[in-house]
A and B are shown apart, each in its own frame.
Chain A
Amino acid sequence: MKTSFKRSAMLAVASIGAIGILYACATKGATTQSLVSGDAASRVYVAPGSYDEFYTFMSGGYSGQVSVYGLPSGRLLKLIPVFSQFPEDGYGYNEETKPMLQTTYGFLPWDDSHHPELSQTDGVPDGRWLFINANNTPRIARIDLTRFETDEIIQIPNSAGGHASPFTTPNSKYVVSATRFSVPIPNTDVPIDSYKKNFKGTLSFITADQPGKMDIAFQILMPGYNYDLGHAGKGPSDGWFFFTSYNSEQSNTKLEENASQNDKDFVAAVNYKRAEECVTQGKAASRPSDYMHNWIDSTSRIAKSEKKTSVKMIDPQSCPGIVYYLPTPKSPHGVDVDPTGEYIVAGGKLATVIPVHSFTKMQKAIADKAFEKEIDGIPVLKYDAVMAGEVQKPGLGPLHTEFDGKGYAYTSMFISSEVVKWKLGTWEVVDRIPVYYSIGHLMIPGGDSKKPWGKYLVAMNKITKDRYLPTGPEMAQSAQLIDISGDKMKMLLDFPTIGEPHYAQGLPASIIKDKQLKYHKLAENTNPWVTKSENDGGITRTGKRVDIKMIAIRSHFAPDNLEGVQVGDTVYFHVTNIEQDWDILHGFAVLGANTPELILAPGETRTLKWIPKGPGVYPFYCTDFCSALHQEMQGYIRVSPAGSSVKLMANVSKKSQAQIGDAKKGQ
C-alpha cells in the first residue's frame, strides 16, 4: 500500500515534470534577440547634434495627420496636421485655417489618412510636396515641404472611401483617387440590395503639379467593385495606371465571406493618355458633382474655399482602350510597379502565390485581343497571357511590395508576419525575416519609384502587444527598421509610431533639409489684420464685433490692456508674431476661450475668436516658452456688462492713447 502510494506519487511528479518540459518546449518561440546582430545599436545611433540620413513621412491613419521621423534613429521630428483639427497649434480652429476642413458635408474635424506620396520628377521623389489621402470622406491634401504645412485639400466627388489614393504619375501631373466603396453615382436613395444594378466605382485623376490649383481632370466610371490601391507605370509603362480591385462578386453584405468567393479579382490597367484623348475629343460627359477645393493663400496665409460643381466623367464603353482588367488571385490589395516599369506585382492577400504581371505581355495580349470576356465595355485579358511569373510559397497574406533597385522585391506578409525578399525575373524567395506583429505596408525610401535608395526598409506593423512597456489596452503602433544593404536582411530597431501609419514615404534628408523656411517675411504678410509694429495695434468695434490687433514679440504683447468689450460681443484677437528670427514662436490663449490656443510662427498672423460669457477681467498669455521673460508675457482684457459706458481702450498706439484720453474724460 505504502509502496504503491510512493510509486504513484513519483509517477505523478514525473508526469508533471514531463508536462512542464513539454510546456517549456511549446512556448519557446523565436526571440528578437537572436535576430539583432551585434552592431545594430551603432547602426541606428545618431549622435547628439547629428542628423538622420533620411526623412520618413508616415500617415497618421485614424489620427488624420502625417508624422515625420528620421531614419535610422526612428526619432519623431514633427506632426503635420492635415485632415484633423489640431489643438496643439490651433489648426482647424483658428479663423485662418478653418476653411481647410470645409467639405460639401460641412466642416469636418477628422479623417483617416492612409497613404503619403512624395511628388516626383521623372519618376523619382523630388521633395517638392507630399500628398496624402483622406479615406473616410475622400480628399487629397498637398503638404509643402519647405514649411511642412498643409497647403491645399481637394475633395473627390462621386467616391466613397478614398483608399487607392493619392498615388502619383511620374511627374506629378496627376495624383489619383479610387473608390474603395462603390456607391450609387450620383448618390441617391436606392435599396442597398440593388448593389449590382445601381452601385458604381470611379477612378479619379487629379491635376497636382500647380500649387493652389488642384482639380479633378476626369473620372472614369467603373463596375461596382472595391478599388483598393494603385500605382503608376513608369519607363515603358509610363502613361498607364494600375489599380487593384476586390469584391468582383459585387456583394453588399458580409464581404468577409461573400467577397472572397472568386479565385481571381482584377488589376485594372488604365491608359490615362488615352483618357486624356477621350476628354479632348469630347467623349467625357460633364456631370453635376459638388466638391470643395481649399487652399492657403501664400502671402495672407488665409485658407480659402471654393465650391466646384461639375466633373468630366468617362464611361469606358464610349472610350474603348481606356481600361483593361488583368485577372489576379485573390482579393489583391497592393499593386506595385518595379523600378524598370516592366513588372506589376499584386499582393493577393488570400492568394498562395505572389502574382506578377508583365507590361510587355500585357501590351501583346491587348494587340492580340487575348480577351477572356468583357465587363461593361472593359476587356478582361487572359491571365496566362499577361502573367510574368508567380512567387511560389512566399508566406501567408501578401499585401505590399517595394523594391531596392538592385533587382529584388520585398513583400509584406500580414498573416505569417514577415518580410519576404525575392528576386525579380526568377521569382525565387532569397530571404525572409519575421516582424512583430502582422505587418501592413513596408517602405524603402524611393522604393516605389524609379530610383530606390535601397539601404533601409521600414516595416509598419499592425499589432504591438509586448514590444514596449505596456500602456493599457490601447498602445502605440510599432515600426521596425531593417537593414537591406546586404544579402541578408538584418533587424536594427523597433520604434513606436503615432496613430496608425498605413503607408510611408522616405527620401534622403539632403533633398529637402536645406530648403526649409526659417520664418515668414513680415514685410510680405498680407493678412488684412496684420500688425507690423508695436504702435499699430488697437481695438475697434463694428456693431457687436470687436477686432483686436496685437503684436507678440519677446517678451510682451502690445496692446496688453484692453477695455470696452461687452457681454454679447464677439471678439477676434488678431495676433501677429513680429519676430523675424528662427524658431522664435509665440502662443496666445485667453481664459475661458472655447477654442484652443494660437501658435504663431515668426511673421505670421492668426486669429482667435472669443465670445466672453460674463463680465470680469480675463488674462491672456503666451503659451510657447519664448524667452527668459516668457512668464511675464501676458495681458488683461476687461469685459463689461452689455450697454456699459466703458469705452474701447488699447494701451498701445497713439490713436489708442487718444482713445484712452477720451475714455478718461468720458468717465
Chain B
Amino acid sequence: MSKLSRMLLALGSLLLVGVLWAPIWRIHLIAPQYPEGLGMEIRADRVHGREEHDLENINELNHYIGMKRIETEEIPVLRIMPWVIGGLAVFGGVAAFVGRRALAWAWLGTFAVAGIVGLGEFWWWEYDYGHHLDLEHAIIKVPGMTYQPPIIGEKQLLNFTAASWPAIGALLAGSAFLLGAAAIYLARRAPNRQVANAGD
C-alpha cells in the first residue's frame, strides 16, 4: 500500500482510540414538564446522564412504567466494548504498519461486522428495556404500549419525545471506517508495501 493509504489507515485507527473517550450515542427526552429535557449518553464503557442527575431522574420516571433501571453494571456489553474498540484500533495500527492490502481488508471486514453487531446489540438493548417491563410493579400500564426508542430519529413515548442520535464517538468511528475504506481504494492497484518497504 502507498504511504498515503497507510497514513489514512493509521489515522483511522487513531480516531478509533478517540472513540474510547467520547459519547457514542445520545438519547434525549423532552416532555411538557421537562422543557429543558433529560439526556443520556452511551459510551464504550458506561451509560451516564447528560447533566449530573439526568440518568437518576430518567430511572425515577421509568419506575412508573415498570422499566428496569438503566445502570452501567446491568449492561454486560459495556464490559467488552472497550476491548473490541481498542482491539480494532490496534488491529488497524498493525495493518497500517505492515501495509498489506489483505490485512487492511481483514480489518475493514472485522470493523464492519463489529459495527453491525454493535448496532444490533444496541437495538436489542433498547427493545429489551422498552418491552420487558415489570408489569407487576408498573404504576402506569397502557395496553399495547412499549417504550423502545428508535436507533436514529424521534419517537413519541407517552408524554416524552425520545430522540436518539449518534454522538461524536459514532462520528469518529464512522470516519475511521471511511478512512480505512479510502486507504484500500487508493491502494487497489499498487503493490504491497511500496514505499516504506524500501529497506527490505
Provide the A567-583 mask, 1 if CB < 8 A to any CB of B, else 0: 00000000000011110
Residues from 48 to 107 in A contacting B, C-beta threshold 8 Å: none
Q: Is the CB of B64 within 8 A of A579?
A: no
Q: Is the CB of A580 within 8 A of B140?
A: no
**B74 beta carbon closer than 8 Å to chain A:** no
CA distance A639 to B36 in the complex (A): 45
**B71 beta carbon closer than 8 Å to chain A:** no
Residues of chain B with a CB closer than 8 A to A554's CB:
60
CA distance A495 to B36 in the complex (A): 31
Q: How many B residues, CB 8 Å from partner?
A: 9
CB distance from A578 to the nearest CB of B (A): 10
**B121 beta carbon closer than 8 Å to chain A:** no
**A553 beta carbon closer than 8 Å to chain B:** yes
Q: Which residues of A contact B (CB under 8 A)?
A: 553-554, 579-582, 628-629
Q: Is the CB of A579 within 8 A of B60?
A: yes
Residues of chain A with a CB closer than 8 A to B53's CB:
580-581
CB distance from B98 to the nearest CB of A (A): 50
5 contacts between A and B (CB under 8 A): A580-B52, A580-B56, A581-B53, A581-B57, A628-B140
CA distance A628 to B139 in the complex (A): 10
Q: Is the CB of A582 within 8 A of B60?
A: no
CB distance from A522 to the nearest CB of B (A): 9
| Given known A628-B64, A629-B64, contact A582–B36 (CB-CB < 8 A) | yes
> Contact check: which of B36, B57, B64, B139 meets A580 at CB < 8 Å?
B57
CA distance A553 to B59 in the complex (A): 12
Q: Is the CB of B139 within 8 A of A629?
A: yes
Q: Is the CB of A581 within 8 A of B60?
A: yes
CB distance from A249 to the nearest CB of B (A): 62
Q: A580-B53, A629-B64 are in contact. List 4 more A-B contacts (CB 8 A).
A: A580-B57, A581-B53, A581-B57, A628-B140
Q: Which secondary structure dominates chain A's binding surface?
A: loop
CA distance A308 to B139 in the complex (A): 55
CA distance A554 to B64 in the complex (A): 9
Provide the B31-57 mask, 1 if CB < 8 A to any CB of A, else 0: 000001000000000000000110011
Residues of chain A with a CB closer than 8 A to B64's CB:
628-629
CA distance A629 to B57 in the complex (A): 16
CA distance A262 to B54 in the complex (A): 68
CB distance from A601 to the nearest CB of B (A): 14
The 5 closest A-B pairs by CB, nearest first: A580-B53, A581-B57, A580-B56, A629-B139, A554-B60
CA distance A628 to B56 in the complex (A): 18
Residue of A nearest to B33 (CB): A583
Residue of A nearest to B52 (CB): A580
> Contact check: which of A553, A628, A629 meets B60 at CB < 8 Å?
A553
Residues from 52 to 94 in B contacting A, C-beta threshold 8 Å: 52-53, 56-57, 60, 64
Residues of chain B with a CB closer than 8 A to A629's CB:
64, 139
CB distance from A568 to the nearest CB of B (A): 39
CA distance A594 to B53 in the complex (A): 36
Residue of B nearest to A627 (CB): B64
CB distance from A447 to the nearest CB of B (A): 34
CA distance A628 to B53 in the complex (A): 21
Residues of chain A with a CB closer than 8 A to B60's CB:
553-554, 579, 581
CA distance A522 to B49 in the complex (A): 17
Chain A CB within 10 Å, residue with most, of B53, B57, B64, B139:
B53
Residues of chain B with a CB closer than 8 A to A581's CB:
53, 57, 60
CA distance A629 to B56 in the complex (A): 19
CB distance from A22 to the nearest CB of B (A): 62
Residues of chain B with a CB closer than 8 A to A579's CB:
57, 60
Residues of chain A with a CB closer than 8 A to B57's CB:
579-581
CB distance from B168 to the nearest CB of A (A): 26
Residues of chain B with a CB closer than 8 A to A553's CB:
60
Residues of chain A with a CB closer than 8 A to B56's CB:
580
Residues from 150 to 185 in B contacting A, C-beta threshold 8 Å: none
CA distance A580 to B59 in the complex (A): 12
CB distance from A336 to the nearest CB of B (A): 42
Residue of A nearest to B56 (CB): A580
Residues of chain A with a CB closer than 8 A to B36's CB:
582
CB distance from A514 to the nearest CB of B (A): 13
Chain B CB within 10 Å, residue with most, of A553, A581, A582:
A581
CA distance A265 to B74 in the complex (A): 79
Residue of B nearest to A629 (CB): B139
CA distance A629 to B64 in the complex (A): 9
Residue of B nearest to A632 (CB): B139
Residue of A nearest to B53 (CB): A580
CA distance A628 to B36 in the complex (A): 20
